[in-house]
């Protein structure tokens, strides 16, 4: 085991898979000589050359289309978005091509494509650089979506995503790149469709993902000191949602709080509520509580920005209210 930053864990995963398989390559803006906006591809161009660590023009729709074409022909491209919000410029390619071509080709084509990069609310990055796009892509058939939250799961998930024969959107949070954690020395993989049971508990189920996992765990420290015993689930897989792990927890706790950085309207939390209400309503002893970001463009002002997203004290208050 060794302590590793999250951005280094992603770099290790990319390096190991490129070394193992010559069909794996990276493309995106400034991924080569600059090493990527958050240094996930630092120095890899020295090892693999400029054709496998390929710097592209600022033209997301063009290089996304090129990556999908490369995947069809048998390569395994990893597209880095300098900021995930810029990938809205390639929404047509991601939805109509990456998501659907395996089906519309009658299974003749596989699309082994990873689309990864930073997103989420940072520190005063402004509205256009603070977007959470998970809800945008959630309804597109044919895509898998994961959100890493620790260096350990970042590496294991990325290695699995690169080897998958379907398009995977891989969300990283801009404020988690410098998070440090123990990484095993031996090779390992994590499932792309399984949630992680972060903490066992009996009083209430808290479901979360990405950066909010860490806000939830700060809240849990306070709750435990006040004699509450919450169970915590990190979704990790946003498409498909591992509803069975949530249901297994609800059978013990009968209460559910969802904590997300996504906007409330049409977000991941909304989908979980719909699935639970449709199929497992009898497990609930209280209404589901959803703690989500405000439905507004994220302000640049630091105090206003903070007011748009969820912090530990709000989670603590909501748990106490639901259990009172």
Q: Which of 60, 134, 260, 271 is catalytic?
A: 60
Does 214 participate in catalysis according to the annotation? no
Q: Which of 129, 172, 231, 271 is catalytic?
A: 129
Does 60 participate in catalysis according to the annotation? yes
* Token digits of residue 107: 């299974």
* Token digits of residue 260: 């997300």
What's the CA gap between 185 and 229, in Å, rounded?
33
Contact status, residue 210 vs residue 174, Cβ threshold 8 Å: no
What's the CA gap between 197 and 245, in Å, rounded?
8
Residues in the chain: 324
Strand runs labelled E in the chain: 2-5, 24-28, 53-55, 76-80, 114-119, 144-147, 168-173, 180-183, 196-199, 204-208, 230-234, 237-239, 256-263, 289-293
User: What φ, ψ does residue 318 adopt, rounded to 5°?
Assistant: -70, -40
**Which are the catalytic amino acids?**
60, 129
């Amino acid at each position: 085991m060794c302590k590793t930053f999250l951005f280094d864990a992603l770099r290790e995963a990319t390096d190991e898979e490129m070394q193992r398989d010559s069909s794996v390559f990276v493309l995106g803006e400034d991924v080569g000589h600059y090493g990527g906006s958050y240094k996930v591809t630092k120095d890899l161009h020295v090892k693999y050359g400029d054709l496998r660590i390929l710097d592209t023009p600022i033209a997301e729709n063009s290089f996304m289309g090129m990556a999908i074409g490369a995947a069809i022909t048998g390569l395994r491209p990893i597209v880095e978005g300098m900021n995930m919000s810029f990938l809205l410029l390639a929404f047509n390619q991601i939805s109509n091509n990456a998501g659907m071509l395996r089906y519309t080709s009658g299974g003749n084509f596989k699309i082994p494509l990873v689309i990864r990069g930073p997103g989420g609310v940072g520190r005063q990055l402004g509205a256009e650089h603070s977007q959470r796009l998970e809800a945008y892509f959630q309804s597109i058939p044919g895509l898998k979506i994961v959100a890493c939250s620790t260096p350990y799961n970042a590496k294991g998930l990325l290695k699995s995503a690169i080897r998958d024969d379907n398009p995977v959107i891989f969300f990283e949070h801009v404020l988690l790149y410098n998070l440090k954690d123990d990484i095993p020395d031996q090779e390992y993989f994590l499932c792309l469709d399984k949630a992680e049971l972060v903490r066992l508990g009996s009083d209430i189920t808290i479901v979360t993902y990405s950066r909010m996992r860490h806000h939830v765990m700060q809240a849990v420290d306070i709750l435990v000191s006040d004699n509450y015993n919450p169970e915590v689930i990190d979704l990790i897989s946003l498409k498909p949602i591992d509803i069975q792990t949530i249901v297994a927890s609800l059978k013990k706790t009968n209460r559910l709080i969802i904590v997300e950085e996504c906007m409330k309207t049409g977000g991941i939390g909304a989908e979980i509520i719909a699935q639970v209400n449709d199929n497992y309503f009898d497990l609930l002893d209280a209404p589901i509580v959803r703690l989500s970001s405000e439905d507004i463009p994220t302000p640049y002002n630091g105090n206003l920005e903070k007011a748009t997203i969820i912090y530990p004290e709000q989670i603590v208050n909501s748990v106490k209210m639901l259990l009172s």
